[in-house]
Amino acid sequence: MSRSRFRFDLLRAENSEALGHRARLGRLTTPHGVVQTPAFMPVGTQATVKGLTIDQVHSTGAEILLGNTYHLALRPGSELIAALGGLHQFMGWTGPILTDSGGFQLFSLAQNSKVTDEGAVFRSHIDGSLMQLTPEDAVRIQEELGSDIAMVLDHVIGLPSPPEKIRDAVARTIRWADRCRAAARRPEQTLFAITQGGLDCDLRLACTEKLVALDFAGYAIGGLSVGEPPEEMYRVLDATVPALPAERPRYLMGVGRPQDLVEGIARGIDMFDCVMPTRNARNALAFTRQGPVRLRNLKHARDPRPLEEDCPCPACRHSRAYLRHLFLAREMLGPTLLTLHNLTYYQRLMAAARAAIAAGEFETWRQAQHRDWAGSARDPTDSTADDTASGPESSDS
Amino acid sequence: MSRSRFRFDLLRAENSEALGHRARLGRLTTPHGVVQTPAFMPVGTQATVKGLTIDQVHSTGAEILLGNTYHLALRPGSELIAALGGLHQFMGWTGPILTDSGGFQLFSLAQNSKVTDEGAVFRSHIDGSLMQLTPEDAVRIQEELGSDIAMVLDHVIGLPSPPEKIRDAVARTIRWADRCRAAARRPEQTLFAITQGGLDCDLRLACTEKLVALDFAGYAIGGLSVGEPPEEMYRVLDATVPALPAERPRYLMGVGRPQDLVEGIARGIDMFDCVMPTRNARNALAFTRQGPVRLRNLKHARDPRPLEEDCPCPACRHSRAYLRHLFLAREMLGPTLLTLHNLTYYQRLMAAARAAIAAGEFETWRQAQHRDWAGSARDPTDSTADDTASGPESSDS
């Protein structure tokens, strides 16, 4: 597989332990354009970022989108998308696209999923029909979709799980990664591996080393943010990331809260995706520098202020009172405006992180962010305590 | 009431019967800007054109919006909207706004509506609470909303109705119009009267003459497009419009299909509103020059063509196959894109009508439009026969 049209340039990386972080600034070059890292990828599960036109997605500052192989294979089918010119043409997004492999949805969404060494057999969550997904299928479907970055099929399991089950899933994930690499045919597409291993740092490290030996263009850390405390996730990152080659991009899958992005960046992660900004938007929860704002709350009924004074998004041209009215009246524009705001917030957070890294001031910036969020947590009516209610996931349904 | 900031200029009007039409070109000047007529007003029932941001509404070519007094009075309340700076500020639309009076919703939406000479008493369709709406209330609410054009409260009844009932409603509509005029206080707001009279041309004429004698800034024709055949509506227009003063704008309420707009323009109507383009969009029906397209139809599954080759709207950057996928996958973007397309179609139709009138070629243009629509009606899978299934109405709920 040629990687001539794919390149990752590390522009700045802090390796000194004294700094207390490993944040890095990079640039990912793909056949459909350049992505500045650290980057957040909005989730476009069914060939659309829910509720937004392509122009609106662009307006949030997003440079790369995530598409879901499992969903698109089921409906409308990768063959149809290929016949219509591929996923970029189909959804009208001219920038880079990363597709996941369906591994997470086999775990979270498919019915009666049975995993063997050959692959997974499951029933569609749409119509109950019997489907199969092998590593070779996952590669073929992603090649039909024509994404810039494809992911290997991994075996995702719930946490906590017995050690034997985790070891088994890790071994299978490594064998499947090798099969995916062997199956890949498209020179315009790059394949990333996915490390697994639950919260067992030794197992994570062993999995990572085996995948690194197979030499992938990028590495993802999967199977996290599935219910464990954030500190457990950070511990796994601390153990895993240093084993990844510095010159390859690192992607933390399905994460997460703004705090998790900042802590992921601090641990050397370059790429993120999560449904939190989009799914929470549809549930009337807005992310702001001062923490989450629940717009259904009565206290916003007459509030003339925007969500954020300096935010350039279309939602912030309106009052909180208007946004609240839209949700109480069940108007589509409520979810649309809040999706625009939340994605803009996430992209502004990433841009601020990149600027801080570039200026050598990441640690100061990181602490300031946490101070702002901690301040907001003291307001009992807009507590951050349950802002993960809808949970980080890898597809937005 | 001062009308200094409201003006209607008739730029061209064909009065010759030999031409076979009475189409006219005009310019409506309001405190919030100018509207070229004939004009179509998208319906923004709950302080939002369903699914569209204000920028998107602008992009369709709309110059004036309609807001619904009944809905806004119930939720969030006109007092709250006034406290937040009025409807323009609340929803972020800086152009002209016309508000209806609630008369149509008392007939179509309110529960247990009882009409007396004093006004209407009804139960809210939202929470069943007991409400009252008098002509004075309708004026006060619209003044709190701060629309550029307010409508008098009229007594709308179903068709067919006994002659005595129609006569009674007409007499009440005239008395209420006079009371609305007497109650109006805001110099920045103009009040239009509404003629009623069902399909009885003599009664329509008598009602029109009495309202004209009261000297309103504009006149609406109400109570039509409530189930009667289009030809009946055209007959009523033929009898009513000539009795209206040429120098005042004429507004046909709640109409209608593209054909009805063209026929209304031909009969001398200047302004229209209808939920058809927006409501049908949410039901996957697109309006095109070749007639309606039902996007759920299997025949569009692999169709790479846009809805209209020369349409500048965001939906027409996509294939019919993609739009169909969005509806089958129940994605919000489907209704949003089709709303953008349908409103753009309606605005392009009005712009074409204005250009044809300006060029003195309205009759030729009118016949060409009908030829295109008639051609499409021969396709049994996309028939125009039931494109009024969701019916013209004056609020989009």
* pLDDT of A390: 44
In this prediction, residue B377 carries a pLDDT of: 66
Share of chain B above pLDDT 70, in %: 94
Q: CB B75 to CB A325 under 8 A? A: yes
Q: Are A60 and A109 in contact (CB under 8 A)?
A: no
Residues in B closer than 8 angstroms to A48, CB to CB, are 326, 331, 333
The closest CB to that of B92, out of A56, A318, A335, belongs to: A318
Contact A85 B329 (CB under 8 A): no
Residue B329 · residue A127 · CB < 8 Å: no
Q: What is the mean pLDDT of chain B?
A: 93
- Tell me the one-letter amino acid at A184: A
State residue B332's pLDDT score.
Answer: 98
Q: Say what the alpha-carbon torsion angle B275, B278, B283, B288 is, to the nearest 10 degrees.
A: 110
- Residue A1: predicted pLDDT: 40
- The answer to whether residue B387 scores a pLDDT higher than 50 is no
pLDDT digits (tens, 9 = 90+) for B191-217: 999 999 999 999 999 999 999 999 999
Q: Contacts by A259-263 with C-beta closer than 8 Å and gap 24+?
A: A259/A230, A259/A369, A259/A370, A259/A373, A260/A225, A260/A230, A260/A233, A260/A392, A261/A38, A261/A40, A261/A346, A261/A349, A261/A350, A261/A353, A262/A349, A262/A353, A262/A366, A262/A369, A262/A370, A263/A230, A263/A234, A263/A237
Chain B touched by A304 (CB under 8 Å)? yes
Annotated active-site residue A273? The verdict is: yes
HSE value, Cβ hemisphere, 13 Å, CA-based, for A181:
18
How many Å apart are CA B273 and CA B390, to the nearest integer?
A: 15
Tokens read off for B224: 């039509």
The two three-digit tokens of residue A340, written as one number: 């625009």
Give the minimum alpha-carbon distance from B245 to chain A in angstroms, rounded to a whole number. 40
Higher pLDDT, A274 or B4: A274
Chain A contacts of B92, Cβ < 8 Å? Answer: 317-318, 322
> Any chain B CB within 8 A of the CB of A305?
no
E strands present in chain A = 7-13, 24-30, 33-37, 39-41, 65-67, 97-99, 111-115, 120-123, 130-133, 149-151, 190-195, 218-221, 250-252, 271-273, 285-286, 293-294
Q: Does the annotation mark A260 as catalytic?
A: no
Fold of B7-277: TIM Barrel (3.20.20)
> What are the Cα distances from residue B286, in Å, to A46, B65, B101, B339?
22, 21, 30, 8
Residues from chain B that touch A329, judged by Cβ atoms under 8 A, are 46, 75-76
Q: Which of A48, A84, A92 sits opposite B317 (nearest CB)?
A: A92
Q: Do A90 and B50 touch (CB under 8 A)?
A: no
Q: What angle do CA B299, B305, B306 make, to 5 degrees?
A: 110
> Cα-atom radius of gyration of chain B, to the nearest Å?
20
Task: Report domain extents, chain A.
Answer: 7-275, 281-382
- Mean pLDDT by runs of 10 across the 397 residues of chain A is 76 78 96 98 98 98 98 97 98 98 91 93 93 97 98 93 95 98 96 97 97 98 93 96 97 97 98 98 97 97 98 98 98 98 98 97 96 75 45 71
Does position B378 have pLDDT exceeding 80, yes or no?
no
Residues B303-334 pLDDT 10s: 999 999 999 999 999 999 999 999 999 999 99
Q: Which residues of B touch A54 (CB under 8 A)?
A: 314, 317
> Which of chain B's residues have a Cβ under 8 Å away from the Cβ of A306?
none
Interchain pair B47, A322: CB under 8 A: yes
Chain centroid to Cα B91, Å, comes to 19
Q: Do B314 and A53 touch (CB under 8 A)?
A: yes
Cα first-last separation, chain B: 33
Res A250: pLDDT: 98
Span between the terminal Cα atoms of chain A, in Å: 33
Q: Grade residue B53 by pLDDT with cuts at 50, 70 and 90.
A: very high
Q: Do A333 and B90 touch (CB under 8 A)?
A: no
pLDDT score, position B162: 94
The shortest CB-CB distance from A314 to any of B53, B333, B337 is to: B53
The answer for A 37-96 residues in CB contact with B (under 8 A) is 46-48, 50-56, 75-76, 80, 83-85, 90-92
Neighbours of B111 (CB within 10 A): 10
- Residue B383: per-residue pLDDT: 46
Catalytic residue among B137, B154, B200, B273: B273
Residue A388's pLDDT is: 43
- What is the per-residue pLDDT for B375? 79
- What per-residue confidence (pLDDT) applies to B15? 66
Class of the CATH domain delimited by A7-275: alpha beta
Spatial neighbors of B19 by CB under 8 A, at least 6 apart, are: B362, B363
**Cα separations in angstroms, A389 against A229, A385, B159:** 13, 9, 51
